[in-house]
Amino acid sequence: MLKVVGIDHIVLRTDKLPDMLAFYCDVLGCKVERHTSVDIGLVQLRAGNALIDLVTLDGELGRAGGKAPTAEGNNLDHFCLQLESIEEQRLIGYLQAKGVETGDFAERYGAQGYGQSIYIKDPQGNTVELRSV
């Protein structure tokens, strides 16, 4: 029997690679782990014990997925990143200082049970849920 123990990676298609790298690295603190050739068009970011793969639309992998994601046709509904413990107001202040629009924290259910989280958008329009331990 299989037992899922966490998220290994998520793949996001993009036509805004510099903006996506700035968001995931400069704002959320991910680190670039691996670049593939321009022909393939894949940049892998370390996000804790998981990876966020960014696939460019002009690369081999991205071309297979069709048009660029839009507000009406995103890659996915959302995904959740678990953060180290941080006060809600401190997180909101940090995100707003980085130019990221924030909503309000709400109690939501996730892999660790119920907890407070907030939704934000990345430069490609994907919804990212941030949840503090």
Tokens representing residue 102 in the block: 């924030």
Residues 6+ apart with CB under 8 A from 125: 69, 70, 71, 74
Q: How far apart are CA 74 and CA 62, in angstroms?
A: 14
Instruction: Output the pLDDT for position 86.
Output: 87
pLDDT of residue 4: 62
| Residue 69 domain flag | yes
* Both tokens assigned to 2: 């299989």
Tell me if 4 is assigned to some domain.
Answer: no
Q: How many domains does the chain have?
A: 1
Residue 49's contacts (CB-CB under 8 Å, 6 or more residues apart) are 6
pLDDT of 2: 45
Any domain includes 1: no
Would you state the pLDDT for residue 77? Answer: 65
Flag whether 81 is in a domain: yes
The residue segments making up the domain with residue 91 are 9-132
Note whether residue 3 is domain-resident. Answer: no
Separation of alpha carbons 118 and 114, rounded Å: 13
Query: Would you give the DSSP letter of residue 68?
Result: P
Enumerate residue ranges in the chain where pLDDT < 50. 2
Residue 33: CATH number of its domain: 3.10.180.10
> Does residue 87 sit within a domain?
yes
The CA-atom distances, in angstroms, between 44 and each of 31, 41, 64, 100, 109 are 9, 10, 18, 22, 28
Compute the distance between CA of residue 77 and CA of residue 1 in angstroms, rounded to an integer: 28
Alpha-carbon Rg of the chain, whole angstroms?
Answer: 15
